[in-house]
Structure 1
Amino acid sequence: MAFERDVVVIGASAGGVEALCQTVRSLSGEFPAAVLVVMHLAPGATTALPQILTRAGPLRAVQATHAAPLTRGVIHVAPPDHHLLIDGGALMLSHGPTENGHRPAINATFRSAAVAAGPRAIGVILSGALHDGAVGLGAVVERGGLAMVQDPADALYPGMPESALACVSTEHVYPADVLGKVLDHVVRTAASTRPVEPPSPALLLEDRIARDGVRRGAVAEEVAAASGYSCPDCQGSLLEIGQQAGQYRCRIGHAWSAEALLAARDIELERALWTALRSLDEKAALARRMQHDAAGRGHAGLTGRYVNTARECATAAETLRRFLLSLSPETEAHS
């Protein structure tokens, strides 16, 4: 069977604007596929990415809107705080659970393309940290689609390309300026492939969660094993789900990879340590104040106790402060 590859989904994060511009610059003005672009954005952010991509190449880029038609030759950019999904021949914006702390999430869009377009889909991973998009790209390949990845050596942040290549095998690994030229050629080449199996129950479940997981309830205990970890977003129990090890969701649907969960734990730990440091500093200051008051009233016993308390707190605070400042240069901003 021959399939026309008419759906392209591109995921990028840190360092991704430059890579996106290089990629779309090489596409022709008669590009015969719809393009969906997902870049990690903060929930309250505004983005000029559609204008930037429109200026960078011959295709028009627009911010995606709910129920808009999936249009060939147009770049549809995910807006902040919404997953960008495909619903038949139209776009769908969802406020479904975050994935690896992100909404929009690359995995959500890639899985949606895998379910909706199957072998007609091309998934592209560009510069970014950690590995959002790797599992989604695996779903695209599983459904007969094509994977393309920016050469990690060409990426400002190679984490996402490296994670994608660890998840899928593809011959289409190029620098960003070459990747666009190859993509423009590949979409014009009909793909002959064996009949593709229907989406797996696990893939359909994950896609359904991105669409309306909060409204309908997301993950039931009977379809997933307890992990023993808690969700950084809601502190609920995380369940191990998906076809790959190290993929977790809480009961209301927040998704985490093992790598992203580890990074979130680092942030939680550092935040807790800064809170402890503040508490030690305040306790030392209060003890010194109470020492002064006790000395003024002639209470030698109380004065000595407060002196010891202030000294112990100051010593502990200095040890903790040195540790926190050693973690990374950026932590100095907290001091």
Structure 2
Amino acid sequence: MLRPRDLVVVGASAGGVEALSAFAGGLPGDLPASVLVVLHLPPGAVSALPAILARSGPLPVREAEDGEPMERSCIYTAPPDRHLLVEDGVMRLSRGPTENGHRPAIDALFRSAARAFGSAVTGVVLSGSLDDGVNGLELIKTRGGRAVVQDPGEAVFPSMPENALARVEADFVLPAKEMGGVLADYVREHVDPAEADPMPIIDEVELHVARSGDGAEAGIPEVVDVSEPSGLACPDCDGVLFSLDDRGNRYRCRVGHAWTAQALFERQTLDIEHALWAALRALEEQRDLAARMARDATDRGFPLVADRYQRHREESAHAVSVLRRFLYSGVGVAGAGVQDTSA
């Protein structure tokens, strides 16, 4: 049965408020489609995004509510600390595991939209760091949907658009404010969602995990049943990460935390640097304690004990000097990490 492409899903991260404001400003006021938006937000935040986007363009903007039907000519935003998903024509909010450290996650929305709407969905990737949303956009294209990506040259943070373009054949690459006209044309296209290719089992499993605790259907395999251990550990829970593709780009742990290779590498970099700073602090404390113990041994007339603690002090002081130079050099762990050069 033919239907219009009347669902638009949008993902943004760093620099996303500016991009989303331009995007909303370019949408026609009579756009016959529902627009669902995920912007990465800290868990405890109170989102001002609906108010910002309502001032930026002609469409009404509301924060999504669980079980709410989607209306056309309306923008819905994901609330903080909830995945925004699409299921049976309504929006669902979930506290499923984080993806790349984020909840809401762009991939979770895109994945659910691709499953529920097939070829009748258009995915939009805007400014952001790393590569959240890339796998979901790839799935949207695989199932016959459209892909629109912000011009990286316009994005405040171009990494997310660049990664999307490296993996997905986008239908259009445009400045955010020029996307409205393209989307208005897409909505006039009629497609048969039933003709979409079946969802890969891995994506079904990931969608099931994102919906965990919210009445997700039984019978879906667990991550451990459809993937192999990667030999890597999850930064969130220290559990084994399982590789979800043969390219080593996607990982999930047993309890559901999801990581792309880029996000995992950056998180490992931060964790290593944190550990090195903790080691520096411990070495400085050991140096100072050894000096006190050497003085105390000298005062009590134990020169051999004093000499031993003095050697400990000198060894710790040398280690402090080496580690401090490494951390301050800018070419060590932090310099080797995945950095957004536009920052």
Aligned to 1:81: 81
Structure 1 residues 33 and 261: CA distance shift in structure 2, 3 A:
same
Give me the whole-angstrom Cα distance separating, in 2, the residues matched to 1:240 and 1:327. Answer: 32
Report deviation, 1:220: 4.2
CA distance in 2, matches of 1:318, 1:151: 45
Distance (Å, rounded) in 2 between the aligned partners of 1:213 and 1:64? 18
1:191 Cα offset (Å): 4.8
- 5+ residue gaps, structure 2, are 335-343
Q: Distance in 1 between matches of 2:273 and 2:26?
A: 43
User: What is aligned with 1:118?
Assistant: 118
Contact 1:218–1:251 (8 Å) recurs in 2:
no
Which residue matches 1:171?
171
Instruction: Return 29-38 or 242-251, whichever deviates more.
Output: 242-251
**Superposed displacement of residue 45, structure 1:** 1.6
Q: Which moved more, 1:292-301 or 1:88-97?
A: 292-301
User: 1:32 maps to what in 2?
Assistant: 32
1:235 to 2:249 alignment: no
Residue matched to 1:224: 227
CA–CA separation in structure 1 for the residues paired with 2:165 and 2:144? 17
Q: Kindly indicate whether residue 321 of structure 2 is the aligned counterpart of residue 318 of structure 1.
A: yes
Separation in structure 2 between the aligned mates of residue 37 and residue 244 of structure 1, nearest angstrom = 29
Counterpart of 1:45 in structure 2 is 45
Deviations 1:197-246 (A, max 9, x none): 33232222211111017998973433111111111111101111157642
Normalised by the length of structure 1, the TM-score is: 0.93
The 5 Å alignment of 1:271-286 reads 271-286=274-289
Deviations 1:104-132 (A, max 9, x none): 11000000000011111000000000000
Q: CA separation in 2, counterparts of 1:245 and 1:214?
A: 29
Cα pair distance change 1:185/1:17, threshold 3 Å: same
* Maintained 8 Å contact 1:219/1:249: no
Q: Which residue of 1 aligns with 2:186?
A: 186
Q: Does the 8 Å CA contact 1:203/1:242 hold for their aligned counterparts?
A: no
CA distance change for structure 1 residues 237 and 164 in 2, over 3 Å: closer, same or farther?
A: same
Residue 65 of structure 1: SS of its match in structure 2?
coil
- AA at the equivalent of 2:170: T
Deviations 1:79-98 (A, max 9, x none): 11110001211110001111
Cα separation, partners in 2 of 1:198 and 1:30, compared to 1, 3 Å: same
Q: Which amino acid is the alignment partner of residue 296 of structure 2?
A: D
Please state how far the C-alpha of 1:179 moved relative to its aligned partner: 2.0
Alignment partner of 2:271: what SS? helix
Question: Higher mean Cα deviation, 194-203 or 153-162?
Answer: 194-203
CA RMSD of aligned residues (A): 2.2
Q: Could you tell me which of 255, 259, 267 is aligned with 1:256?
A: 259
Change (3 A) 1:46 1:194: closer
Amino acid at match of 1:41: L
Moved more, 290-299 or 77-86: 290-299
Cα deviation 1:165-215 (Å, max 9, x = unaligned):
111102300111222332233223435899223323222221111101799
Alpha-carbon offset, residue 43 of structure 1: 1.2
Say if 2:292 is the partner of 1:294.
Answer: no
Task: Please name the residue that 2:14 is paired with.
Answer: 14
Aligned 1:54-203 pairs, distance under 5 A: 54-191=54-191, 195-203=195-203
Q: Write the distance in 2 (CA, Å) between the matches of 1:44 and 1:5.
A: 34
Give the conservation status (yes or no) of the 8 Å contact 2:120–2:192.
Answer: no
1: CA distance, partners of 2:47 / 2:200: 35
Identity %: 48
> Is contact 1:218-1:253 (8 Å) kept?
no
Equivalent AA in structure 2 for residue 176 of structure 1? A
User: What is the TM-score normalised by the length of structure 2?
Assistant: 0.91
Contact 1:26 1:184 in 2 (8 A): no
The change in CA–CA distance for 1:256 and 1:323 in structure 2 (over 3 A counts) is: same
> Partners in 2 of 1:192 and 1:179 — Cα distance?
24
Q: Identify the match of residue 303 of structure 1 among 293, 301, 306.
A: 306
Do 1:214 and 1:253's aligned partners in 2 also have CA atoms closer than 8 Å?
no
SS at match of 1:277: helix
SS in 1 for 2:181: helix
Distance 1:223 1:193, change over 3 A: closer
Counterpart position of 2:5? 5
Amino acid in the other structure paired with 2:268: R
Greater shift after overlay, 310-319 or 216-225?
216-225
The 3-state SS of whatever aligns with 1:35 is strand
2:339 maps to none
Residue identity matched to 2:116: A
CA 1:279 to 1:134, structure 2 compared with 1: closer, same or farther past 3 Å? same
- In the alignment, residue 325 of structure 1 is paired with which amino acid? Y
The alpha-carbon deviation at position 28 of structure 1 amounts to 1.4
Partner secondary structure for residue 41 of structure 2 = coil
- 1:284-334 Cα shifts (integer Å, max 9, x gaps): 111111122112112111222222211211121121112112238xx8xxx
